[in-house]
Structures are given as structure tokens and as C-alpha cells.
Structure 1
Amino acid sequence: MTSVHESIFSYGISRPYPFRWFTPVVIVGFLVATALFTFLNFASNGYDLIVQTSSDPNTTISEGIWFRKWPSYLTSKVKPSCQSTDIHVNTLLFTNQTALTYTLTDVWQARTGDGNNRAVLPSLTYFNNVIDQCSISSIEVNLEALDRSGNQFAFSEWGAKVRAYVSCTIEGAAGRTSFNLTTTYDYVPEIVSFSDLYRFLGTNFLDRDKEKRASLYWGESLMSMYWAYLTRSMQDIRANATNFSEPSIRTGTMSFTPNNSSISDIIDLNFFEVNYRFVIDKGLGDFSVIFPGLYNDSLSVANLNGINAYPYIWIQADSLAKSIYSTILTDLGQVSSTPNILNDGDTLQYFTSNFSLALQHIANARPGPATQDYDTLKAKTGPLGVAPSVISTNYICQIPRLKSGGNLFLTVLVADLVFLQALWKIFTLATDWLWLRKTASANQCQGCIGGSGAGHQRDLSDFAERSSEDKTRRFEEVGINIMEGSRRRVYHRQSSSQQELLQR
């Protein structure tokens, strides 16, 4: 007799579900679940995150993937993200308007509960925050002559180096942060090429677009025009002093500060308060200084121009300062009601109406790009306006990239199989539980149900739940089985009696 090995592992005995709806529900559910799981697994596992730099993190994140707004528990592994950047003190920077260049000089945050105290920071933590609440504290115009390089002297015997001091704020994740900027403008810098003589130099501005950034286009035109006009005026003043054998100005500086009386009209000559120093070289080491107390004036351009104070360049210098003031506000995107030449056509026309006169008083430095008044050229440029600005810098971003075909197929397939198996297990457990509650014999094999004794009792139990027609048919079958069983027992007893008689 061959022995049967019994393993420690076993398999279950199964029987078909007695529901007509079970098979179509499983097939349809399988197809729907497969499609849904494939879709979800593709969204959550079909991409790899790669690192790249971006100058516009908001656009990079918004254009990452089409299902970026889905719940994070599904797409956390493939959602694009960008890190904020640290702009350290003394770093050169510019805005998305690509006009002037600035130097970051201070960064701080006000301490909580103490507005007069502040925490100084080594860098500006920045994430495409809109620049806000900018104010220009002062604008300095430094005039130089013989101390400049030979190249600069060829363009203009006098030069004007303008420096502006600006304070701004941003609203970030850590709260409101304040910072200071400085910017310098010199139309003929030391690095100017001699080959550009008699041409528009286009220095200091990174880019220009008269259609999309018309205000900055006119701002550059104002700055270069009044720079050329002012420096040539200083040249004429020195020539006049030389002709009369008088000592001339060697160097000078002027500081323009917005008037505390909040004058809203930038055309007003009292818009700025002005402080100044001019050094007159008398020769043999002797010099004299022109300063405000000399004229007993009230530190206003209107007063200095009214008394015809030497050196007679107050209007040109005031216009240059206002041009730089307006250009900075436009470049930094200050859209508030702050007076701005470049945001109003009538004001701009006022400051450009004397371009033809200024062009008669320039040296070899040719201004531009516009050399005619606003009304003449406004049809050839775009509309004036100020748009919000952000600092232009690079951000390290993680962006999703679709996996290769084979890797994508394998990843989604494995994930689908895991989900489908779990769904099948849950579905069968729920169905078995409901069926067992309704039918006590549902967990027994069909062969066991067909036996005698307890099997008949289970059949009778099922019999009570069937319809009247089924009950009648089942009753007949059970009766026949009982009669056949009785006959077999009678026959068996007869056979046993006959065998006993034969043995006797």
C-alpha cells in the first residue's frame, strides 16, 4: 500500500458562487478597476523628478504636470517644486524689467513687539516675491572733470555719476523683510569703448523694449538726455570762466531728497530739497567751496534757480534726478500713487518737450534711444504703465519627467497587480460573509451536502427556503432516495438470512 505524504501546507476547497450577477459584476469591476488603478498609478509613479534651474519658479511649478492640483497623497512624488534662494548682501541684482542694476546693501526684519529694533540678516531669502513699498531716500549727482579717464574725456569733458539709495520690502514665508538697494548711473563709464564715439551708447540698461516696456524706454531716454545736457552745461561754464580768467569748478556734488511736505506734483521745482558742494580751484593749492549757506537759500531748486545761483545748472540737475527717480520706481514696479514721470503722458511730454534744446547743448556723448518729444513718438511706442516687479534670479527646481516606456509599463503593471489582488480579496471576503449569514451550508462542499444523516438535515434546512415548486420536486427526490434506501436495507437483511441458513 502506497503511503500518501501530507505537507504542512494545504489548499482550500472552493465551490462556485450561486449568483447570476457575480460573474458579470466581477468582469465589469475588473475592467473598471484596472483602468482606474492604471490611471492613478501612472499619475503617482509614472514620473521621475529631475533637478534643473529656473528663473520663473511660479511658471515652472504651474506647468509641471497636468494633474498638479490633485491631492498630495497621490502626487507628492511627482509634484514640481522650487527652493527659495538666498541673495547675500553686496550682491548685484536686477528685476524682471531688465533695466537698471542694483546692489543689495542691507537686509533686516523688525523684531516682534518692538518696531524700533531690528534683526540684521546676512542675506535676503527670496522666492519670486513682489517688490513692495519702495521709497527713494536720496539721489546724489557727483560731477567730475579732469579726474576722469581719457576715453571718458573724449565723450564729454565733464561726467556725472548718479547714485540712488532705495528701501523696499517683500512679504515672504518668514514675514515682512526690508532691504536697502543702491544703484549707480553713469552714461559714459570708465569701460566705454572709444570706437563708440558719436553713437548712442546704451550703457547701464540691460535691455530695452519700446513696445512692451515703453515707460522704461522713455526713462532711459530722459536719463541719457539730461546727463548729456548737464555735463555739457558744466563744460560751457568752465569755458566761460576760462575766457574771463576766473577760477573754475574742479568737482562738485549735489544731493536731492524728496520734500517732506509731500508735494505730489513732480514738475514742481520744490519736489526735491537739494544740498550741494562745489570746489573752485584757484590754483597753487588754493580753493574755495560753494555751499548752501553761501546764498542763504532754503535748499530748494526753485530758490537757487530764482536767484541765478552759480553754477546755473539747477534745472538740468533737477530734471536728471527726477528722471532717475521715476525710472527706479518703474523698474521696481511701484504702481502706487507715488509721483512718476513715466506713468503719465502729459508729465512725460513736459520733460521731453525741451529735447530739441538739449540736443544743441551736448558734447560727443550722443543720448538716446529717443531723441524727440513724447507726443511726436508715442504712436511708435507702446503704452505707458508700471507693472509689479520681482528680483531676477535662478532657483533650483525639481520637475517631473515621464519615465521610459519599458520602465513605465513595468512600474504601472506591478502596482496594478497589487491593487487588483487587494481589491479581489476584499470583495470575496465581503461576499462570503454576506452569503454565510444567509446560508448556513455555504461553506461546505457540494459532495458533503449530498450525503446521509446530517447531510439530509442540511438539505431539509435548505428545503425550507426554496419556492413551492422547488420544494415539491425536492420532496419527491428525497422520498425516492428514502424508498431506495429502505429497499436496500430489506434486501440486505434477506441476503444475510439466506446466508445463515446455507451455513447451517
Structure 2
Amino acid sequence: MSSFRYSITRPYPYKWFTPVAVVGGIVLAALFSFINFYSNAYNMITITTNNPDIIEANQWSHIPGFLTSRIDPKCEDAIIPIGSTFNTNQTALSYQLSRMRNYPALSYHNRRLESCEATQISIDFQTSIDRQAALIDRSSWGVTVSADITCNAPNEEHEINYIGFRTHYDPLTWATQPGVSGFIRVNASSPGFVWANTLLLAFWTETVTATVDQTLQPNSSEIVPLFNLSSGYISFSKPDINIYNESFFRLGKYAFFNLPESKAYRGDFNITDDTLYEDLITKNTWPNIWSPANRLAKAMYSVIQVDLGQTDTVITTFNGTPADMSILTTADRLHHWTENLTQIWDRSTVADKNNLLPYGLMQMRQFDKNTDATNPRQPLRFTPSVISA
């Protein structure tokens, strides 16, 4: 029997541990180095965009958020000071920010405009006072329609943020006076806004022509005409639910002045006092421009609604039927309100009026609810609006 003793041994069961640990350590070191490099070794580039929602969309949805939090793009709010001008993504009218609650500027993050309301629409009439000679040469009377508007422009946290702004329409002066606007752009791919521009221009020139006819002095010179009025205005507010109604605007006032003779003609209308706007029309109150001015105010109201994207809120009457508050949102209404466009344009006294029709896109004719309404480009489709510039 041997005097030597041997301890009991057995083979090491994890013979691959060492190579796996070594190789795994190398791989993990390379992986963490790669992640560290791409999460820190980059340059931040500042760009300007009108679509922050697209920029901020999650482009790394297949990667855990904690790995991409430092490289996800983030857009800062646009700062719009009071007094600044802007337009919406529809690029129809231009607007000027006029008031906010307790802030000198609007902090805006591309949220859609909500609960917009044209609180007042005014039509201002001027002859030669404060008008440029070139404009007087085009039209003896100048007519500018303006509107005061309130909207909710939610901030990044979707908190209510009411703002006030103004817009103006005068196709003769929009290129020469800040804050006075014709249409910024007539987009052929958006026929609904082509009709919006057509309505405004037609009813604007109808109002100008009616004002000239009503105020021109008998036997006045054609070269330097004389008028019985110098200036004036009509203001409209509190719209009703039926735009066909001649008293659609339930509250307003007017004043016209003959400065050389120190005369003034003033009045108001208020449905609560049974003094209706339609009474001015039926009584042919001088100056009898009430029907054209009413159509111009309604057209302005309708264009503002679609330009600010306020077409998806269905307002109903007490018996549950949809309200008729816009000229532009149905084929039947647009067909009705464009019935006399050709005659209106033919009677216009505005010089070089055809130059106001941009690039031949607009036609002064009646909207055909059978052919135009079935156009595959869907002419009456309007979308929500955001502030874009």
C-alpha cells in the first residue's frame, strides 16, 4: 500500500469563462465607447422651421429614450412681439398682433389657432384725404375693410392663451402701406382661397363703385370729380347665425362727413333696440351704399374664418340645424353669393381693375355648384391654421 496520499480533484467546469469574459469585456468597452462618442461628439446646428412638430417627432422610436434624449431635436418657442405682423399657413391675409394679457410678446409653439372670433369689422371710406396721388388716380374713393380678432393660441403646455390682432384689406394700397393687405398669395392648388380672394375683390370694387355713384356732385368734372362727402366709416359686430340675413351683424354704427361744409351724418343699428341694419337698405338711406358694404363685411368675415382655420366647429341653431355663418364653406352658399360677380365687375369704376386679378387665376363668374364643387381638387376644403411667419 502506497504511503502517498492524493487530494480528490476534478476538471474545472467553466473552461470557456476566461475567453468569454475577455472577449465580452472588449465588446462592452467598444459598445460603451461608441455610445459615449455619439451622445457627446456632435455639433448643435440651429435651423429655422415653420413645422416644429415634424422636427420634434420621435425619430428614434426603436431606441430607448434615455439613449437619445441628448440628441433629439428640440424647437424653441417663436417670440412674436406686440406690433409684429404675421400670417397663417394658409397665406391669405396678413395680421398684426395688437394685444395680449400681461405679456409684451407672444410665446408660440406652432399650436393650431382655436376659438377665433372677428369681434368687429369696419369699412373706412376716404377721398383725397391722406391718400397718395397714385391711388386717387386709380379710384376717387378709397375703401379699406379691417377687422379686430381674438384667438386662443395655446402655448407648449396647451394652456389657454388669448391674443388680439388686426387685419386689413385694400387691394390698391397693400403693397405700399404696412399693415394693409391684399391677399399675400393666391395658390392655384387651393381653389377655395381663390374664391375667397375673388369674393373680397368683387365686393370691394362694388362698394367703391356705389360710393362714387352716391356721392358724385352733379355736373362734376370727370378729371377732378367733386363729392358730397369727404370720408366715413361703418362698423359691424355681433354676427348672427344666418349670413343670408341682411341684419346678420346685429350691432354697429356709421358716420359720414362733408368736411368743406362741416356736415356729419351719423347713426347706429342695434337689434335689441329694433334698429336693424336692413332698415338702412329698405329705406334707401343716403348714401345708399348699405347693401354693397354689407356684402363686403360678410365676405371679410368669411375669409377670416377660413384663413384662421375655424371651419371644423359646427355651430347649430336652437332647433339643431347647422348655422349659416360663412359664405365659403358650402357649395350652395358660394353659388348664391357669386351670382352677380360678372355684372359687379363690369360696372366697376376702378381704373386698371384687371391688373388686380393675379395671373389669370381668378374669374369674375358664378361658382357652379355642380361642376366646381365636384372638382377633384376639392375647392372648398379648408384646413386648421397655425401662425407660420
Q: Same fold (TM over 0.5)?
A: yes
Q: Letter of the 2:308 partner, please give it.
A: L
Whether 1:278 aligns to 2:256 is yes
- 1:102 partner SS: strand
Letter in 2 for 1:204: G
Match among 57, 66, 71 for residue 62 of structure 1 = 57
1:268 counterpart letter in structure 2: N
* Cα distance, 1:26 vs structure 2: 4.3
Offset of 1:35 from its aligned partner? 7.8
Q: Contact (CA 8 Å) 1:141, 1:255: kept in 2 or not?
A: yes
Deviation at 1:180, TM superposition (A): 0.4
- SS of the aligned residue for 1:341 comes to coil
Q: How does 1:245-256 map to 2 (within 5 A)?
A: 248-256=228-236
8 Å contact from structure 1 (residues 152, 192) kept in 2:
no
Tell me the C-alpha RMSD between the 2 structures: 3.2
Equivalent position to 2:292, from 316, 341, 357 = 316
Q: State the match for 1:180 in structure 2.
A: 164
- Alignment of 1:20 with 2:15, yes or no, is yes
Q: Which residue identity does 1:141 align to in structure 2?
A: I
Does structure 1 residue 123 correspond to structure 2 residue 109?
no
Can you list the C-alpha shifts for 1:53-98, whole angstroms capped at 9, x where unaligned?
22221122227xx426744431232121111122111111111111
Normalized per residue, the structure richer in helix is: 1
2:346 to 339, 356, 360: 360
Which of 26, 40, 53 aligns to 2:48? It is: 53
Q: Percent identity?
A: 29
Q: Which residue pairs with 1:420 in the alignment?
A: none
Question: What does residue 99 of structure 2 align with?
Answer: 106
Q: Which moved more, 1:326-335 or 1:42-51?
A: 42-51
User: Partners of 1:32 and 1:47 in 2: how far apart?
Assistant: 23
Shift of 1:244: 9.8
**Distance in 1 separating the partners of 2:147 and 2:212:** 24
2:196 aligned with 1:219: yes
Corresponding residue for residue 189 of structure 1? 173
Please say if residues 186 and 193 of structure 2, whose CA atoms lie closer than 8 Å, have aligned partners that are also in contact: yes
Shift of 1:46: 5.7
Partners of 2:141 and 2:227 in 1: CA distance: 16
Rounded Cα–Cα distance in structure 2 between residues aligned with 1:97 and 1:325: 16
Is residue 129 of structure 2 the alignment partner of residue 136 of structure 1?
A: no
> In the alignment, is residue 162 of structure 1 matched against residue 162 of structure 2?
no
Aligned pair partner of 1:235 in 186, 197, 212: 212
- 1:131 and 1:169 in contact (8 A); partners too: yes
Counterpart in the other structure of 1:370: 363
Question: 1-side partners of 2:379 and 2:29: how far apart?
Answer: 56
- Decide whether the 8 Å contact of 1:68 with 1:79 is kept in 2: no
Aligned twin of 1:210: 188
SS at match of 2:196: helix
* TM-aligned CA deviation for residue 299 of structure 1: 4.2
Verify: 1:384 aligned to 2:370, yes or no.
no
Structure 1 residue identity aligned to 2:255: R
Structure 1 residues 224-233 or 338-347, which shifts more? 338-347
Match of 1:175, SS state, is coil
Q: Distance in 2 between matches of 1:333 and 1:59?
A: 20
C-alpha separation between the residues in 2 aligned to 1:43 and 1:67? Answer: 14
Distance, in Å, in 1 between the alignment partners of 2:44 and 2:174 is: 47
Change (3 A) 1:17 1:92: farther
Q: Distance in 2 between matches of 1:154 and 1:362?
A: 15
Amino acid at match of 1:57: P
2-structure distance, mates of 1:247, 1:160: 15
- 1:164-193, CA deviations, whole angstroms, 9 ceiling, x for partnerless residues? 000111222382111101111111117569
| Contact 1:242 1:248 survives alignment (8 Å) | no
Residue by residue, what CA displacement relative to the aligned partner does 1:330-366 show, whole Å, maximum 9, x if unpaired? 1111131352211111111111111012012212233
Distance 1:313 1:51, change over 3 A: same
Amino acid paired to 1:272: F
Q: Tell which has more relative contact order, 1 or 2 (C-alpha 8 A, sep 6+).
A: 1
Distance in 2 (alpha carbons) for counterparts of 1:79 and 1:292 = 58
* 8 Å contact kept, 1:210–1:382: no
Shift in Å, 1:307: 1.6
CA distance in 2: counterparts of 1:247 and 1:123, whole angstroms: 44
Give the whole-Å Cα distance in 2 for the aligned partners of 1:217 and 1:127. Answer: 29
C-alpha deviation, 1:312, in angstroms: 1.7
Q: Are the counterparts in 2 of residues 151 and 192 from structure 1 also a CA contact under 8 Å?
A: no
Alignment of 1:86-105 (within 5 A): 86-105=79-98
SS of structure 1 residue aligned to 2:39: helix
Sort the Cα spacing of 1:346 and 1:174 in 2 relative to 1 into closer, same or farther, 3 A: closer
Distance 1:287 1:249 in 2: 9
Corresponding position: 1:151 with 2:134? yes
The residue that corresponds to 2:4 in the other structure is none
Secondary structure of 2:154 counterpart: strand
Do 1:68 and 1:75's aligned partners in 2 also have CA atoms closer than 8 Å?
no
Instruction: Please state whether the residue corresponding to 1:179 is helix, strand or coil.
Output: strand
* Cα contact 2:148–2:166 (8 A) shared by 1: yes
Regions of 4+ moved over 6 Å: 244-247
Distance 1:171 1:59 in 2: 18
* Structure 1 segment 284-363 matched on structure 2, within 5 A: 285-292=261-268, 298-334=274-310, 335-337=312-314, 339-363=325-349
Cα distance, 1:247–1:391 mapped onto 2, change above 3 Å: closer
One-letter amino acid of the counterpart of residue 137, structure 2: A
Within 2, Cα distance between the matches of 1:249 and 1:190? 24
DSSP 3-state at the match of 1:49: coil
Counterpart contact for 1:99–1:208, Cα < 8 Å: yes
Distance across 2 between alignment mates of 1:163 and 1:215: 21
Aligned length: 347
**2 CA distance for matches of 1:157 and 1:183?**
23
| Alpha-carbon spacing, 1:304–1:107, altered in 2? closer, same or farther (3 Å) | same
Aligned to 1:111: none
SS at match of 1:141: strand
